Structure 1
């Protein structure tokens, strides 16, 4: 490594590591201390090689702190139940009480102290990775360089982290869409007063106990698993297209992790994660999409008369456990009494599931004891085929709330919803869901069980990894040589030629209407295979897979735009939902001139988006389960709500030209720069999902969430190859060179290449190599 390049690298990323002497591309570490080789490629993507998993974790923790220290530090503030202390009580007390209860209950400690009660102890390798990650993060802090990110520079809450902090954060990720999503209801649950009102004398005044740290619930993704019959080479090919927040703790981070001979995976993890969650090795590639399955069940409790904190179970009274939890705020301590049953915490949903003098509701969270995920992802990264990966899924059952779509080098494609799902079989549902809640189960998959009978406990499937969850035989799996796909609808049409049916309702619905995004996703695969999509040839390459993904078709517009324009032109005035009369002349012209895409140059796309968001996409024909990809399809032009939605859209867009270029009004700020962003809303049937925050008179001035880590990888005979990008860039630090570079690249539909082999890495002209390390305690 040249002195010039080393000096430049030190200036840009701060390479000097504690307890380590850097000499070219080698380093001298003390004793058996941590030592990791970092190869920073274009766009700041680290390729980390270490001799063991502890040092691998150290390298990952160090580079992630270099790029995103504020995100990780804030995440640790959350799981330490200190948001109110550092950021104020408003919107944070509920989160703090939820996490403080987990701390008081020693949830993380119990998950590490397995095996017991269905808990498996994490492996030595995973413990080492977690320990190393914390050490790497802390080493970056001890290097003495001031944090340059203004979001947290000089802040007292940026402190060293512990292994226990890491495990608490991992638990929070597991319960993100279950207990975590119900945190407000857990904190608010209180027995009724003498008058029968559900209130608590210990509740803090006002509306302090509301809100959380802003955890995103609108997560989603697209994924294609393309087998040998769908690719021009005959090798497996994967599209990974998760739709996640562009800001906050749920951002992805690109990296490549390698322990020679044991683990070698390139891809992405959520910031603060020590291992790859979406990615590929040399033989297998995989992605995840958010599953429709439920993660918890409700138990309706029959309360003991005169004692609303006791419930009957098999005819005998059981006392709830009351725990007083206290957190610190700038205005002093706040305490709340929280209640548990043997099922789990008591939860209220005001107006729906209230705590009365006769009835209360508790949940069992199937992910509350899931400490298997890090080991599961590690094992996925070591799989050599789709068959081996399926065995990992079957034996470990660790995916908390996502499907998996995968391919292998031999051209096999896999779809599986082998996520953690409470064991609600059809027979249990029929026997144990009270009549008033049967319709809720059939329509939404929400199970409210009779909590007064032991016969209504979840039980255990003989093939399940732990008690209380569905075993692999009760979960949908499909292996194909053509393709599988998922865009957040249920498993039913993972491949329309082989519908998956007959699974418990709690996993997902069958023979029901699919989203426009799901339908377009399947159409794109089918049309590419037959060569009818307007692109050259037929079959997939990584190049045309990228083009298809970023083709930015708005399927809803393809179906109804012409009918909408005819209706609009025939009667160019309409009334909004609040009674105002709107002239639609400009709207008719803008829609007629729209190219039916959400590209930067598309004019009028935002008008159709707002029409769709106003629930204007109403269809005249019904869904036909025998034609699920083409029905419904005809605009209900006679429905007055269609015209009202268009009028509402025009009214909302006041001050914004209705024929504006999308790239002029949909942007992402990077300092003073505003980067134009293509993509659109799934309500309009867009595959490349982008949701922007709307600013009246301006447009979508900040991207909220959508396409994040995007990867098209082929597992060819010469090794993995293809394209990838992190749309919001690698670092949140505005002073980092990797703060906006990939965002600009995405704006132009560009890409970074797969760099899995040393040959691919060495071809990168921007490669910088250094080592980090320190003595182990």
Structure 2
């Protein structure tokens, strides 16, 4: 009898285990496969494996973009798709479940379902074709599918990915993460106003909003966002050329790592640039006529409201009446080992937007671009623009909630647009504080038109630049934008980075600029002896190190350091490591760290792993990727706020610092006097970053560490002459 009971219990356990392993795909929605049959799609791979996609129609090209990207990184594409379907937790565990919660809280699928039928027909066709290309690859390679029931995907699924990820680029993840955990909310943006309209001095962001605590979307690095962008006009060039430098800083792998591609359609879509996994088109780069790049900007685009709830927590007061708090039960699907467990959560919504309840109360969130998918149309129209007027008209569509756009074209125009969907906020509230949620007078419903966006077009200096700094100084001394002409309610940042300071210094001292000089500017590795870096170094050198010979020796090295992380001077590795914490706090608008603690930890690390305080920078800072025969391990230079950016790294067991974020996709674009375009580019690894067996897994790395570029074969004739491999998906 006992034996039968035990066997029965074991059987139940086995059934339960099998059920936990298999139930999630059975409950997943299975949409119908998109109906799309390509007319003519060809993919060409150049000598570095970069895909060039040719199609009869734009939709054909989008189909090929999906297939080519899947060939190189199907694994990451699936992570992005799982996010859009609320299944990231089932694939990635607890971290993925946080993204699923955010998607449910923001009601991403409802937004997409409402906006999808209203998108222009050509945009829907593009996304439908892209989804079909992903499904085609999945059908041909079923062994690579990581999550049962994930395919087929639809164009609507792909659009949902844009709706979900877009607000995280201006800090919504930080606000959500802080509210969910009941911590003080760290806010982006510029000055605060009191009820009388006077400026309120800005306090450092509370320690409780540390980026490590953020609710982080798949693949996005949670801290120290950065990018550099530069454009030089013909009048400032030695040869009359117009030049654009795209130098985005992104993670080197994952859901927001750049993927290079070139597209050609018989419908007139020709573009070279890079996208993120899950996009049918490049987000930056150039066509024959014009180009642009982006840097992260940080206006105050998020408002938090405290709701007044009734005793049951079911209603909130608004304009003197009680309204029902929308409530929806969701089940997060969370992978634990081989099992996927259902975890219940409740999401709330008020007239303001998503609502988070914590021990401090109920807080509603309103943010730029809330509940809209227009960014997918804007990016496509920018790709197809043929002159400055068309490009500017696409920008005026205001689908992209935030990010600087730095522009250049064949006619010699250059410009910086501090793009943001600024809330049309009424005066009389401190918009940098938690707002009253019980009155419509504090609830904005519109955004300001595009002509209210700060912009600098064709400045006298002949250059524009941005390195995640305030837009007022985009073209150097004498060409500043007038900050007083813009309302403080816009919340435009007044930050300066070392990169911005150095770029202005370098442009101002350069005179006329040729191609070689522009490249030298881009690869600058120096720190300016001003700002937060100077103040931080002074604090380190002022420490009383009597009785600690190692710290005293470190101070001596720092006193003699040449303020350049080029890997040639003494003390570079020490300076790199002590500057990073200060820069992180400065960028996050927080109080500086403890200088003794930072110096002590750095000294201990260098002594333990390198037997001294002065190893060569390239010995410590490394580009590492892969294992075994496919592995690369190369020296790097630059730091986390130098123009040549090695932004974030992980300390490896051998003490080396493995960079994972910084200079990523780099592109130099030139239009000569006759308006003819050519470009060069580079990536840290290669085109196939998750395919170790591919010859293009790491083939760009040696060039990347040597500050070298490869040609972009934008002209199909040059591509064919190079011996590129053509095939059909």
Normalising by structure 1, we get a TM-score of 0.75
Per the alignment, residue 251 of structure 1 pairs with 257
The answer on whether the counterparts of 1:296 and 1:365 sit within 8 Å (CA) in structure 2 is: yes
Per the alignment, residue 671 of structure 1 pairs with 627
Q: Do residues 659 (structure 1) and 664 (structure 2) align? A: no
Taking a change above 3 Å as real, the CA distance of residues 729 and 32 of structure 1, as seen in their structure-2 partners, is closer
Taking a change above 3 Å as real, the CA distance of residues 172 and 616 of structure 1, as seen in their structure-2 partners, is closer
- Aligned-pair CA distance for 1:231: 1.7
Number of residue equivalences: 643
The answer on whether the counterparts of 1:70 and 1:158 sit within 8 Å (CA) in structure 2 is: no
- Aligned-pair CA distance for 1:607: 0.7
Q: Do residues 345 (structure 1) and 384 (structure 2) align? A: no
Residue pairs, 1:449-468, within 5 angstroms? 449-459=435-445, 468=446
- Aligned-pair CA distance for 1:701: 3.5
Which of 224, 234, 238 is residue 232 of structure 1 equivalent to?
238
* Aligned partner of residue 339 in structure 1, secondary structure: strand
* Aligned partner of residue 258 in structure 1, secondary structure: strand
Q: Do residues 505 (structure 1) and 505 (structure 2) align? A: no
Per the alignment, residue 706 of structure 1 pairs with 662
* Aligned partner of residue 54 in structure 1, secondary structure: helix
Which of 198, 218, 222 is residue 217 of structure 1 equivalent to?
222
Residue pairs, 1:662-741, within 5 angstroms? 662-667=617-622, 668-672=624-628, 673-682=631-640, 685-695=641-651, 698-716=654-672, 717=674, 719-731=676-688, 732-741=690-699
Which of 120, 126, 129 is residue 129 of structure 1 equivalent to?
126
Residue pairs, 1:570-589, within 5 angstroms? 574=545, 581-584=548-551, 586-588=553-555
The answer on whether the counterparts of 2:533 and 2:582 sit within 8 Å (CA) in structure 1 is: no
* Aligned partner of residue 164 in structure 1, secondary structure: helix
The answer on whether the counterparts of 1:97 and 1:326 sit within 8 Å (CA) in structure 2 is: no
Taking a change above 3 Å as real, the CA distance of residues 325 and 188 of structure 1, as seen in their structure-2 partners, is farther
Per the alignment, residue 93 of structure 1 pairs with 97
Taking a change above 3 Å as real, the CA distance of residues 180 and 125 of structure 1, as seen in their structure-2 partners, is farther
- Aligned-pair CA distance for 1:347: 2.7
- Aligned-pair CA distance for 1:63: 0.1
- Aligned-pair CA distance for 1:344: 0.6
Taking a change above 3 Å as real, the CA distance of residues 376 and 83 of structure 1, as seen in their structure-2 partners, is closer
Which of 67, 70, 81 is residue 72 of structure 2 equivalent to?
67
Taking a change above 3 Å as real, the CA distance of residues 516 and 419 of structure 1, as seen in their structure-2 partners, is same
Residue pairs, 1:385-396, within 5 angstroms? 385-394=387-396, 396=397
The answer on whether the counterparts of 1:725 and 1:746 sit within 8 Å (CA) in structure 2 is: yes
Taking a change above 3 Å as real, the CA distance of residues 618 and 556 of structure 1, as seen in their structure-2 partners, is farther
- Aligned-pair CA distance for 1:712: 1.1
Taking a change above 3 Å as real, the CA distance of residues 188 and 94 of structure 1, as seen in their structure-2 partners, is farther
The answer on whether the counterparts of 2:619 and 2:656 sit within 8 Å (CA) in structure 1 is: no
* Aligned partner of residue 251 in structure 1, secondary structure: coil
Taking a change above 3 Å as real, the CA distance of residues 504 and 692 of structure 1, as seen in their structure-2 partners, is same
- Aligned-pair CA distance for 1:364: 1.4
Taking a change above 3 Å as real, the CA distance of residues 689 and 557 of structure 1, as seen in their structure-2 partners, is farther
- Aligned-pair CA distance for 1:54: 1.5
Per the alignment, residue 476 of structure 1 pairs with 454
The answer on whether the counterparts of 1:185 and 1:348 sit within 8 Å (CA) in structure 2 is: no
Counterparts of 1:369 and 1:608 in 2: how far apart (Å)?
Answer: 45
Taking a change above 3 Å as real, the CA distance of residues 605 and 508 of structure 1, as seen in their structure-2 partners, is farther
Counterparts of 2:36 and 2:229 in 1: how far apart (Å)?
Answer: 45
Q: Do residues 383 (structure 1) and 348 (structure 2) align? A: no
Which of 521, 544, 553 is residue 526 of structure 2 equivalent to?
553
Counterparts of 1:158 and 1:602 in 2: how far apart (Å)?
Answer: 52
Q: Which moved more, 1:339-348 or 1:211-220?
A: 211-220
Counterparts of 2:395 and 2:583 in 1: how far apart (Å)?
Answer: 41
The answer on whether the counterparts of 1:665 and 1:700 sit within 8 Å (CA) in structure 2 is: yes
* Aligned partner of residue 59 in structure 1, secondary structure: helix
* Aligned partner of residue 235 in structure 2, secondary structure: coil
* Aligned partner of residue 77 in structure 1, secondary structure: helix
Per the alignment, residue 199 of structure 1 pairs with none
1:626-651 Cα distance to aligned partner (Å, 9 max, x none):
xxxxxxxxxxxxx9976665444323
Gaps of 5+ in 2: 1-34, 184-212, 587-591
Counterparts of 1:142 and 1:34 in 2: how far apart (Å)?
Answer: 19
- Aligned-pair CA distance for 1:492: 1.6
Q: CA RMSD in A?
A: 3.5
Which of 273, 291, 302 is residue 297 of structure 2 equivalent to?
291
The answer on whether the counterparts of 2:419 and 2:454 sit within 8 Å (CA) in structure 1 is: yes
The answer on whether the counterparts of 2:108 and 2:160 sit within 8 Å (CA) in structure 1 is: no
Per the alignment, residue 83 of structure 2 pairs with 78
Residue pairs, 1:259-278, within 5 angstroms? 259-278=265-284
Q: Do residues 164 (structure 1) and 131 (structure 2) align? A: no
- Aligned-pair CA distance for 1:217: 3.2
The answer on whether the counterparts of 1:299 and 1:363 sit within 8 Å (CA) in structure 2 is: yes
* Aligned partner of residue 644 in structure 2, secondary structure: coil
Taking a change above 3 Å as real, the CA distance of residues 209 and 546 of structure 1, as seen in their structure-2 partners, is closer
Counterparts of 1:275 and 1:346 in 2: how far apart (Å)?
Answer: 33
Which of 592, 599, 605 is residue 566 of structure 2 equivalent to?
599
Taking a change above 3 Å as real, the CA distance of residues 99 and 472 of structure 1, as seen in their structure-2 partners, is closer
Taking a change above 3 Å as real, the CA distance of residues 316 and 35 of structure 1, as seen in their structure-2 partners, is same
- Aligned-pair CA distance for 1:262: 2.2
The answer on whether the counterparts of 2:275 and 2:284 sit within 8 Å (CA) in structure 1 is: yes
Per the alignment, residue 113 of structure 2 pairs with 109
Q: Which moved more, 1:698-707 or 1:134-143?
A: 698-707
The answer on whether the counterparts of 1:56 and 1:257 sit within 8 Å (CA) in structure 2 is: yes
* Aligned partner of residue 134 in structure 2, secondary structure: helix
* Aligned partner of residue 488 in structure 2, secondary structure: coil
Which of 575, 580, 589 is residue 613 of structure 1 equivalent to?
580
Counterparts of 1:136 and 1:162 in 2: how far apart (Å)?
Answer: 10
Counterparts of 2:340 and 2:141 in 1: how far apart (Å)?
Answer: 33
- Aligned-pair CA distance for 1:604: 2.4
Per the alignment, residue 706 of structure 2 pairs with 748
Taking a change above 3 Å as real, the CA distance of residues 582 and 337 of structure 1, as seen in their structure-2 partners, is farther
Counterparts of 1:646 and 1:680 in 2: how far apart (Å)?
Answer: 20
Which of 518, 527, 531 is residue 500 of structure 2 equivalent to?
518
Counterparts of 1:34 and 1:702 in 2: how far apart (Å)?
Answer: 45
* Aligned partner of residue 583 in structure 1, secondary structure: helix
Counterparts of 2:36 and 2:543 in 1: how far apart (Å)?
Answer: 79
1:702-740 Cα distance to aligned partner (Å, 9 max, x none):
222111110111122262123211223222221222111
Counterparts of 2:49 and 2:236 in 1: how far apart (Å)?
Answer: 33
Per the alignment, residue 513 of structure 2 pairs with 539
- Aligned-pair CA distance for 1:133: 1.2
Which of 30, 34, 38 is residue 33 of structure 1 equivalent to?
38
Structure with the larger helix share: 2
* Aligned partner of residue 356 in structure 2, secondary structure: coil
Counterparts of 2:110 and 2:526 in 1: how far apart (Å)?
Answer: 49
The answer on whether the counterparts of 1:94 and 1:187 sit within 8 Å (CA) in structure 2 is: no
* Aligned partner of residue 418 in structure 1, secondary structure: strand
Normalising by structure 2, we get a TM-score of 0.80
Q: Which moved more, 1:31-40 or 1:223-232?
A: 31-40
Gaps of 5+ in 1: 1-29, 114-120, 191-207, 460-467, 531-537, 620-638, 773-777
Residue pairs, 1:10-21, within 5 angstroms? none
The answer on whether the counterparts of 1:225 and 1:405 sit within 8 Å (CA) in structure 2 is: yes
Counterparts of 1:479 and 1:584 in 2: how far apart (Å)?
Answer: 50
* Aligned partner of residue 355 in structure 2, secondary structure: coil
Counterparts of 1:96 and 1:641 in 2: how far apart (Å)?
Answer: 37
